[in-house]
Chains A and B, each alone.
Chain A
Amino acid sequence: MFYRENGQFKTTYAADQQMLPILQDRVFMAAVLVIAFVAVPLLANDYLFLSLLIPFLILTLAAIGLNLLVGYCGQISIGHAAFMAVGAYAAYNIALRIPQLNFLVVLVLAGLIAAAVGMLFGIPSLRIKGLYLAVATLAAQFFMDWVFARVKWFTDYAGSGSVSTAAIEMFGWKVDTPTEKYVFLLAILTVFTIVAKNLVRGHIGRAWMAMRDMDVAAEVIGIRPVYAKLSAFAVSSFYVGVAGALWGFMHLGSWEPLAFNLTLSLNLLFMIIIGGMGSLLGSYFGAAFIVVLPILLNQIPTLMGMPLTTAMISHLELMIFGALIVFFLIVEPHGLARLWAVGKEKLRLWPFPH
């Protein structure tokens, strides 16, 4: 009823191949973009921007990156925070040593360096699979932790090993207020999402998915595993590297190697598992779930005026959060994105379900 493609005839190949083939989807997406770009900056306050929206946007980008590798190409990685760290420290060093460089160029370079490192650590994927690969990627995590904590050059010989970034300026625009940061990040995320969407529905993405579904069959139909797997590692690390650079520059401002530890890697993995593997939308849902929900849970008792101690609230937060993860995984093992798809399907059939 509400959501039906009846009567929308495609008369050209271009129309048939567009990213959102159904009119309702296009209208909905346009509305979301208008809300995100116009309404939110007008309505939200600094706290929402700094504590919820900005971390959410950056970690969504990282989750998309990880999803390309794990969800689309089927190569498990539990070391992706390491590639975020590579991106962050690369951006820090580039910005420090070539201060006149435009921040966008810095971001791209940081992403490329992360991609190179990602490919290096992706090489074992050519010989090992599944959980064994996961363990191999763990090496990236520990190695990068060690490098950035011990090799002083990367942190510009900072006494305490904590680096801090200067203000970001590009094209004469100083990105320093929370609203400006939000808009900038949203624009980047939008571009990267569109690129990712087109990657996964093009021949590269199809090669990844073929690899994921059955590598032997993929090889038989002419997909070279070396290219498919390493390109997935490269693109994924590029995304994650850019996210890492943004995490450092836009969110933390100053950080220590601990900011990119194993916990962050695992959180990224949880995001795509809860949000939905092999779904870009799922990356958004997952990031929202992992980033925003704990902070909201932490505030509910105070907002409702419950006289609980902060320790009690924190324990409750962890318990409820854990329970919700289990709940959602039982209700929908394919992630929140699958629930969304089910909802859309229902709207299509309404009011006459089978």
Chain B
Amino acid sequence: MRQAAKSRLLAAAAGAVATTILATASVPAHAQAKEQFFPVLSYRTGAYAPNGVPFANGYVDYLKLVNARDGGIGGVKITFEECETGYATDRGVECYERLKGKGPTGATLFHTLSTGITFAVTDKTFADKIPIVTAGYGRADSVDGTVFGWNFPLGGTYWDAADMLVQHIGKKEGGVDKLKGKKIALVYHDSPYGKEPIALLQERAKMHGYELLLLPVTHPGVEQKATWLQVRQQRPDYVFLWGWGVMNSTAIKEAVATGYPREKMYGVWWSGAEQDVTPAGDGAKGYSSLVFQAPSGQGQVHRDMIKHVYDKGQGTGKKEEIGEVLYNRGLTAAMMSVEAVKRAQIKYGKKPLKGEEVRWGLENLAIDDASIKKLGFDGFMTPVSTSCANHSGDPTAGIHTWDGKKWIIEKGTRLSADQQIIRPMIRASAEKYAAEKKITRRDCAKEQ
């Protein structure tokens, strides 16, 4: 008798699974609605959730704002769907596959939000013809749009970031040639993200004769005792922090415990949010990081956000969190995506656009100071202009320092990477990729 009940229960379970498989298999028929579909890969769970949540909130909020304030992009409503990646590459790829075909014209563009996922989906974009925007992350060599036709590292890559940091400390020492004989330690997340800057730092080390210490930290980065023991032994002159999520705050806490001066620590732009320093309390005082386009604070766009979205109860996150570093970065990422669609609409008309058409918009982005002001991002970002061959624009970044309560931007410091060094590296790396994958370079002159 018990056996019978058991098998009935199991049959029911099997039935439920079968139904779901069928439901998943059947592609929902989309009416040709006047909608532009934005897939949102986010991570609101897992070890990196504290950083993933504000970014996703900012991104989604901006899409909501465009719908509420402007009635969509050129009259075309924005629709979106979130998919949780948990910062895991396999789930990210699954999300990409799940969302790429949705909406009347398929996915507009993807923000992969992880260097690992970027690497994994880059190969797929050639067949799918959907742009991948990696604002401030992703593959450094994908700046070369003639090989990486679908990747857009807008706002800068890790090679840019590493170059800026070397220049910055060079300036502090009184010239980059003074770095000779110094020791620079790179404390990095042991993943494609953290390893990206190594190539450039080695190149620079050859030029200036500093010693580079590579100190990897394994995911998720809560265990760093061994790493900081090495810092204590080797006494590097500077520490570059290439961390993400809980790794950042742990690193700063360990620096306090080791007695390493925080003034000598510089983080990449992903290691400089409120979440990274507040857990270390007062100890984080003096720690600096790069900050590229969106420092914390509020401007016109945030006031619009409160008026059109939050006051109507449509906000994704908490009202107090508007204006945090990562929230603003999500906001900027969404804004650049929307601007790309707007740009493409000029060429292709005010209708839902395919990924391929959006790519044209991304390659012809021209966000100048006037339009930044118009969009309400005054003071939050620098102009971006891209081309078919240059997919990142010419990035600049500043430095901000934590004073114990808030991030203070260093006035007058505007860093830009030395493209004389980076360009040949990009070219060589892209060449290697093209040879491996048997890709023929696009001819940009013909396409415009």
Contact = CB atoms under 8 A, between A and B. Distances in A.
Contacts of A292: 21
Nearest to A289: B17
Interface stretch (A5-13, A20-28, A235-243, A297-305): A297-305
Interface in B110-134: 115-116, 119-120, 122-124, 127
B195 interface: yes
Interface string A272-312: 00000000000000000000110110111011000001110
A159 interface: yes
A152 B30 CA distance: 48
A339 B3 CA distance: 11
Interface in B415-448: 429, 433, 436-438
Given A254-B120, A311-B84, A160 B192 contact: yes
B24 A258 contact: no
Contacts of A343: 7
Given A256-B119, A309-B44, A346-B7, A48 B437 contact: no
Contact of A253 (B24, B27, B124, B192): B124
Interface in B167-199: 190-193, 195-196, 198-199
Interface string A13-50: 00000000000000000000000000000011111101
B79 interface: no
B101 interface: yes
B84 A310 contact: yes
A166 B24 contact: no
Contact of B83 (A46, A166, A296, A310): A310
B20 interface: yes
Contact of A254 (B17, B44, B123, B191): B123
A258 B116 contact: yes
B94 A164 contact: no
Interface in A93-142: 96
Contacts of B82: 309-310
A154 interface: no
A160 B124 contact: no
A343 B11 CA distance: 11
Interface residues of A, number: 47
Contact of B44 (A44, A160, A314): A314
A259 interface: yes
B98 interface: yes
A223 interface: no
Contacts of B193: 160
Given A45-B27, A46-B97, A300-B20, A315 B195 contact: no
B10 interface: yes
A313 B24 contact: no
Contacts of A46: 97, 101
B6 A161 contact: no
B96 to A, nearest CB: 9
Nearest to B6: A331
A256 B120 CA distance: 10
Given A253-B124, A311-B44, A343-B7, 18 more contacts: A45-B27, A47-B24, A51-B98, A96-B436, A159-B140, A160-B119, A160-B192, A164-B122, A166-B437, A176-B127, A252-B93, A255-B89, A256-B192, A303-B20, A309-B82, A310-B42, A314-B84, A331-B6
Interface of B: 3, 6-7, 9-10, 17, 20-21, 23-25, 27, 42, 44-45, 49, 53, 81-84, 86, 89-90, 93-94, 97-98, 101, 115-116, 119-120, 122-124, 127, 139-140, 190-193, 195-196, 198-199, 216, 219, 429, 433, 436-438
14 contacts: A52-B24, A164-B437, A166-B436, A166-B438, A252-B93, A254-B123, A256-B119, A256-B192, A259-B90, A296-B21, A303-B20, A310-B42, A314-B44, A315-B45
